[in-house]
């Protein structure tokens, strides 16, 4: 072991050395030293003052920035410069602690009303700030009321750590900073955690307390209903907030602001636009991924952060098909920080002692502080004006006999002699005489006398007003209240946080039965699955596709406005499979649960909430969707070349698309619909030939068959409409529209005719049919035709409604001028309900793979898409 090197001090002690050893109890010494340390932490570091709501380091930063002239209208300076000034002059601690406090006062997501205007990277909820040498700062606009009037003796000043400089004990604080911006800190044996509030609401409560000093917490809570967090979000349950306002302690839940949207053609997502206080998106993403990997969270396929500067926070959580978004949201609130708790502990320093304060006490301390500040400021200004008035009055006395004043000064040997003679001759005070001796010759003009008299009158008016404020407590309170109202008008902003009285947490739905085989989400609990409830699948002629939330979504006829026509309305269930038929004779398997769901409505659903078919189905070039069909029903198809086919529902189970008719080159499917043996099929051609016969004449065939002759066509003719109707339906009609004989400009347009289907006799399959429309001069064929359950409605390409004849015409008669172009035809919405009731007997359990179509076509109101 190394030995200590001897020093010059080694050796015996001097002869006069007296040894004095004191025995000290260790426990007593530790207690005393620890209490001193604890008091230092509580008073000098961790807890804010209830008057200005600032900790010492925050107060020193704002005061030093004010002394440096870093006002909002000046340029930014390096943060390191501010930190150095504060550390060297007022705060003898590490620069990291000072910079951290400075950064927090500049973060808009931390404070409801930031006090520092930062330039550069001041951090985010997920990342820390850049170093002080990289960032710049200056005072924010809201910091000016905090430091205003410091030069007017409004607060006490105390020495700094080395007794060389003076610093304010507390700032004047015209803003109730403690309630507006909140605070957090951990001291020895105690801690504080205060929530931010809305400036306008807090000031209204403070003004009410000024006018009614005995107001209770219930009266003040009418103005301050709850916290207002910088990031917005939702506060769920206000009982804990009320407890905190009464006793100073309480807690509340904060929840993210979300919406359930269709994020793509096949995906539904939970879109998060606001998160709980001090929760960052990266933290949420991490927790979601951890919970999904641990199999605690089910139903989430992906999470994407689309946040940017223009749109703000946008976190998209994609939901797997077949899962109930509300149920997944309930899981997210339980397993991730999308729902968080905030514990309120209103501990602050009052007269140097830590106290737990309720809302009334917090506001009363602030109001008393402002009353003291305004009273001291008024007294300071009164003394200044009284001193100035005293000098002005002396100067006016001297100007009356200015020649004698000059003579006295010129005849005096020294300044003291002149001062004494002026005091004796004109009965002046020493201050007045000294001020006269300091006069410049230019102040002896006549104009200067007029200015002095005006100044004298103004000073007397101001002194009377200041004395009135100091002499009346009511007047003093009025001044404080008016100043607070001005602050609220200047710096107040609307409330961001939504307050919910009850705990409206998304509840997990009751367990539901799984859908058809293969349609349930694998491994998912029943409570997370979308219920296999009845619904309608809708397809419009413009190619919009959607499903309703339930089967009762098509109840009434709505007034027509701008609308789109429905091509297919199919009754099914949410977890069923249906087929999509195209004009090329293909059928594609479709999961109903994948279709976008329209919001519930009391009238006809609006397909503006749907998505285009091309975004949902992969169609080939030139291919278009004809409609949807149940997979378990026999459907009839009619082609442009006059071919008819009824298809047996024997589709492959291991494929997503297949052929249901073998078409010849150049042929295409015109329309399709479920067809029983008791139904009739109807063809309408461009040359206005109509053929009607029983569907029983068309035997069902396999999916690859090419069909059979449906109607005999003349040279150059083609089928333009095909439909399936009930033979004894008294409301079945045929609507025919010719190619325009004139133009829309001359008001003629096409001719249109509505004829009862009963006027057309049934013929044999493969025949030419009968005449359905007699052409007028200039008309060479039909442009549109429609067969179905009436009444019918027509529309133009821009969605505007078009009138149809109310009187039925003869089957071989000509039409009446429409006056305007007609681009689509369909039945009224009420026909859907009537047809659904008519076909109710044909609806089979979807789980067995069958369902029925409710109507061939109907109309949708309020949609502005085009055909």
Mark whether 676 and 795 lie in a shared domain: yes
Last residue in a domain, options 136, 153, 173: 173
How many angstroms separate the Cα of 620 from the Cα of each of 32, 567, 589, 629, 663?
Answer: 86, 20, 15, 20, 16
Mark whether 544 and 646 lie in a shared domain: yes
Percent of the chain with pLDDT over 90: 56
Which runs of consecutive H residues, i.e. helices, occur in 576-637?
Answer: 613-616
Q: Cα(594)–Cα(250) distance, rounded to whole angstroms?
A: 45
**31-40, 313-322, 789-798 — which is least confidently predicted?**
31-40
Q: In what order do the strands lie in the sheet with 751-756?
A: 782-789, 732-738, 751-756, 816-817
Other Cβ atoms less than 10 A from the Cβ of 551: the count is: 16
pLDDT number for residue 525: 55
For residue 596, give the DSSP letter.
Answer: P
Q: Cα(305)–Cα(281) distance, rounded to whole angstroms?
A: 7
Mark whether 706 and 809 lie in a shared domain: yes
pLDDT number for residue 836: 41
Q: Cα(820)–Cα(829) distance, rounded to whole angstroms?
A: 23
Mark whether 472 and 540 lie in a shared domain: no
Could you tell me if residue 7 is inside a domain? no
- Domain limits at 50? 41-173
Mark whether 408 and 540 lie in a shared domain: no
With beta carbons less than 8 A apart as the criterion, state whether 819 and 829 touch. no
Catalytic (active site) residue 37: no
Average pLDDT, the chain: 84
Q: pLDDT by residue (tens digit) across 819-863?
A: 778 887 766 553 443 444 344 333 333 322 322 222 333 333 332
Which has the closest alpha carbon to 249: 322, 190, 314? 190
pLDDT number for residue 862: 31
Once rounded to an integer, what is the mean pLDDT over residues 271-275? Answer: 94
For residue 597, give the DSSP letter.
Answer: B
Mark whether 766 and 629 lie in a shared domain: yes
Query: How much is the CA Rg of the chain, to the nearest whole Å?
Result: 44
Paired residues of 784 in beta bridges: 737
Give the confidence band of 551 by pLDDT, cuts at 50, 70, 90. low
Once rounded to an integer, what is the mean pLDDT over residues 233-256? Answer: 94
Give the confidence band of 505 by pLDDT, cuts at 50, 70, 90. very low
pLDDT number for residue 853: 29
Which residues make Cβ contacts (< 8 Å) with residue 807, sequence separation at least 6? none
Burial class (CB in 10 A: 0-12, 13-18, 19+), 711: buried
Q: Cα(354)–Cα(383) distance, rounded to whole angstroms?
A: 36
Once rounded to an integer, what is the mean pLDDT over residues 717-727? Answer: 93
Could you tell me if residue 86 is inside a domain? yes
- Total tally of structural domains belonging to the chain: 3
DSSP three-state, residue 556: coil
CA atoms within 13 A on the CB side of 30: 3
Q: What does residue 615 show for φ and ψ, rounded to 5 degrees?
A: -85, -10
Mark whether 750 and 637 lie in a shared domain: yes
554-575: burial string, b at 16+ Cβ within 10 Å, e else: beebbebeebbbbbbbbbbbbb
Which residues make Cβ contacts (< 8 Å) with residue 470, sequence separation at least 6? 375, 378, 379, 382, 476
Burial class (CB in 10 A: 0-12, 13-18, 19+), 400: exposed
> In the structure, how many helices (H) and strands (E) does the chain have?
19, 43
Mark whether 678 and 806 lie in a shared domain: yes
Q: pLDDT by residue (tens digit) across 414-426?
A: 999 999 999 998 8
Which has the closest alpha carbon to 610: 624, 626, 599, 622? 599
For residue 460, is pLDDT > 90? yes
Could you tell me if residue 736 is inside a domain? yes
**58-62, 745-749, 805-809, 844-848 — which is least confidently predicted?**
844-848
Once rounded to an integer, what is the mean pLDDT over residues 120-139? Answer: 95
pLDDT number for residue 585: 94
Q: Cα(57)–Cα(102) distance, rounded to whole angstroms?
A: 9
pLDDT number for residue 110: 94
For residue 93, is pLDDT > 90? no
How many angstroms separate the Cα of 277 from the Cα of each of 94, 112, 238, 281, 342?
Answer: 28, 11, 16, 11, 8
Mark whether 484 and 604 lie in a shared domain: no
Could you tell me if residue 634 is inside a domain? yes
pLDDT number for residue 596: 79
Q: pLDDT by residue (tens digit) across 178-197?
A: 999 999 988 777 889 999 99
Once rounded to an integer, what is the mean pLDDT over residues 349-360? Answer: 92
597-631: burial string, b at 16+ Cβ within 10 Å, e else: bbeeeeebbbbeebbebeebbebeeebebbbbbbb
pLDDT number for residue 609: 60
pLDDT number for residue 548: 81
Q: Cα(366)–Cα(480) distance, rounded to whole angstroms?
A: 11
480-504: burial string, b at 16+ Cβ within 10 Å, e else: bbebbbebbeebbeeebbebeeeee
C-alpha torsion sign, points 140, 142, 145, 147: negative
Q: pLDDT by residue (tens digit) across 367-392?
A: 999 999 999 999 999 999 999 999 99
CATH for 397? 1.10.268.10
Q: pLDDT by residue (tens digit) across 296-331?
A: 888 899 999 999 888 889 999 999 887 888 889 989
Once rounded to an integer, what is the mean pLDDT over residues 41-70? Answer: 89
Stretch (H or E) spanning 209: helix 199-211
Mark whether 666 and 723 lie in a shared domain: yes
With beta carbons less than 8 A apart as the criterion, state whether 637 and 672 touch. yes
CATH for 84? 3.90.199.10
Last residue in a domain, options 151, 173, 195: 173
Could you tell me if residue 187 is inside a domain? no
Last residue in a domain, options 146, 173, 200: 173
More confident residue, 829 or 615: 615
Q: Cα(208)–Cα(223) distance, rounded to whole angstroms?
A: 9
Could you tell me if residue 59 is inside a domain? yes
Mark whether 655 and 749 lie in a shared domain: yes
Could you tell me if residue 208 is inside a domain? no
pLDDT number for residue 64: 96
∠ CA 33-39-42, rounded to 5°: 140
pLDDT number for residue 544: 80
CA 505 to chain CA centroid, Å, is: 18
Which has the closest alpha carbon to 796: 728, 723, 724, 864? 864
Give the confidence band of 540 by pLDDT, cuts at 50, 70, 90. confident
For residue 790, is pLDDT > 80? no
Which residues make Cβ contacts (< 8 Å) with residue 219, sequence separation at least 6? 208, 212
Could you tell me if residue 323 is inside a domain? no
CATH for 708? 2.120.10.90
pLDDT number for residue 615: 77
For residue 221, is pLDDT > 90? yes
Which has the closest alpha carbon to 615: 625, 600, 606? 625
Q: pLDDT by residue (tens digit) across 738-767?
A: 986 555 555 567 889 999 999 999 999 999
Mark whether 478 and 550 lie in a shared domain: no
Cα-Cα end-to-end distance for the chain: 98
With beta carbons less than 8 A apart as the criterion, state whether 354 and 190 touch. yes
**236-245, 613-622, 799-808 — which is least confidently predicted?**
799-808
pLDDT number for residue 606: 61
More confident residue, 444 or 709: 709
Q: In what order do the strands lie in the sheet with 625-630?
A: 625-630, 577-582, 586-591, 657-659
Of 43, 99, 134, 161, catalytic = 134
For residue 517, is pLDDT > 50? no
pLDDT number for residue 440: 81
pLDDT number for residue 844: 31
Paired residues of 647 in beta bridges: 635, 701
Pairing of strands 611-612, 643-647: unpaired
């Amino acid at each position: 072991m190394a030995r200590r090197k001897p020093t010059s001090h080694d050796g015996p002690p001097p002869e006069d050395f007296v040894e004095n050893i004191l025995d000290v109890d260790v426990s007593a010494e530790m207690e005393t030293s620890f209490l001193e340390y604890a008091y230092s932490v509580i008073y000098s570091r961790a807890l804010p003052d209830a008057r200005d709501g600032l900790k010492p380091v925050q107060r020193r930063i704002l005061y030093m920035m004010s002394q440096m002239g870093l006002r909002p209208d000046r340029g930014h300076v390096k943060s390191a410069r501010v930190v150095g000034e504060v550390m060297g002059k007022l705060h003898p601690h590490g620069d990291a602690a000072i910079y951290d406090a400075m950064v927090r006062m500049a973060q808009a997501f931390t404070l409801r009303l930031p006090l520092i205007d930062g330039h550069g990277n001041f951090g985010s909820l997920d990342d820390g700030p850049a170093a002080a040498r990289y960032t710049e700062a200056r005072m924010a606009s809201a910091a000016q009321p905090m430091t205003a009037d410091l030069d007017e003796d409004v607060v006490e000043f105390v020495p700094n750590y080395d007794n060389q400089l003076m610093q304010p004990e507390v700032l004047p604080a015209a803003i109730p900073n403690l309630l507006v911006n909140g605070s957090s800190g951990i001291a020895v044996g105690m801690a504080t955690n205060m929530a931010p509030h809305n400036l306008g609401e807090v000031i209204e409560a403070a003004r009410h307390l000024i006018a009614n000093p005995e107001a209770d917490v219930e009266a003040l809570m009418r103005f301050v209903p709850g916290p207002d967090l910088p990031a917005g979000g939702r506060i769920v349950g206000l009982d804990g907030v009320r407890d905190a306002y009464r006793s100073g302690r309480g807690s509340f839940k904060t929840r993210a602001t979300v919406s359930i949207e269709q994020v793509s053609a096949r995906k539904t997502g939970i879109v998060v636009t606001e998160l709980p206080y001090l929760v960052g998106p990266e933290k949420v993403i991490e927790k979601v991924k951890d919970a999904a990997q641990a199999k605690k969270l089910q139903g989430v396929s992906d999470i994407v952060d689309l946040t940017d500067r223009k749109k703000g926070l946008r976190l998209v959580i994609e939901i797997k098909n077949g899962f109930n978004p509300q149920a997944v949201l309930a899981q997210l609130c339980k397993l991730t920080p999308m729902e968080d708790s905030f514990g309120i502990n209103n501990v602050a320093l009052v007269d140097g002692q830590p106290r737990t304060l309720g809302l009334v006490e917090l506001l009363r301390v602030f109001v008393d502080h402002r009353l003291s500040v305004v009273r001291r400021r008024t007294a300071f200004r009164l003394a200044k004006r009284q001193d100035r008035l005293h000098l002005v009055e002396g100067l006016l006395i001297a100007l009356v006999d200015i020649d004698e004043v000059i003579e006295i000064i010129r005849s005096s040997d020294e300044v003291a002699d002149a001062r004494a003679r002026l005091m004796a001759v004109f009965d002046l005070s020493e201050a007045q005489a000294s001020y006269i001796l300091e006069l410049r010759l230019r102040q002896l003009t006549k104009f200067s006398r007029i200015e002095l008299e005006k100044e004298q009158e103004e000073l007397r008016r101001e002194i009377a007003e200041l004395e009135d404020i100091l002499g009346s407590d009511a007047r003093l309170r009025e001044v404080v209240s008016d100043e607070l109202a001005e602050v609220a008008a200047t710096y107040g902003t609307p409330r961001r946080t939504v307050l919910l009285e009850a705990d409206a947490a998304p509840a997990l739905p009751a367990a539901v039965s799984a859908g058809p085989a293969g349609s349930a989400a694998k491994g998912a609990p029943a409570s997370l699955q979308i219920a296999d409830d009845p619904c309608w699948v809708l397809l419009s002629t413009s190619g919009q596709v959607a499903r309703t939330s339930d089967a009762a979504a098509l109840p009434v006829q709505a007034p027509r406005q701008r609308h789109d026509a429905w091509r297919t309305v199919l009754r099914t269930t949410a977890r069923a499979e249906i087929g999509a038929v195209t004009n090329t004779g293909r059928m594609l398997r479709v999961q109903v649960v994948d279709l976008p769901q329209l919001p519930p409505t009391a009238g006809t659903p609006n397909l503006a909430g749907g998505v285009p078919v091309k975004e949902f189905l992969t169609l080939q070039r030139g291919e278009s969707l004809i409609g949807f069909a149940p997979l378990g029903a026999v459907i009839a198809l009619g082609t442009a070349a006059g071919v008819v086919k009824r298809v047996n529902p024997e589709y492959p189970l291991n494929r997503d698309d297949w052929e249901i008719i073998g078409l010849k080159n150049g042929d295409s499917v015109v329309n399709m619909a479920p067809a029983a043996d008791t139904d009739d099929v109807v063809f309408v051609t461009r040359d206005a030939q109509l053929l009607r016969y029983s569907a029983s004449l068309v035997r069902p065939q396999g999916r690859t068959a090419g069909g059979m002759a449906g109607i005999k066509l003349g040279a150059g003719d083609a089928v333009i409409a095909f439909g399936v109707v009930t033979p004894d339906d008294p409301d079945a009609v045929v609507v025919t529209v010719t190619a325009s004989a004139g133009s829309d400009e001359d008001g003629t347009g096409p001719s249109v005719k509505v004829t009862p289907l009963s006027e057309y006799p049934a013929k044999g399959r493969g025949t030419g049919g009968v005449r359905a429309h007699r052409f007028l001069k200039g008309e060479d064929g039909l442009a549109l035709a429609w067969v179905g359950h009436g009444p019918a409605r027509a529309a133009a390409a821009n969605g505007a409604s078009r009138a149809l004849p109310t009187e039925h015409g003869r089957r071989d008669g000509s039409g009446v001028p429409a006056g305007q172009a007609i681009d689509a035809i369909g039945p009224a919405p009420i026909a859907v309900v009537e047809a659904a009731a008519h076909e109710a007997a044909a609806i089979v359990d979807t789980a067995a793979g069958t369902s029925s179509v409710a109507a061939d076509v109907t109309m949708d109101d309020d949609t502005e898409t085009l055909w």
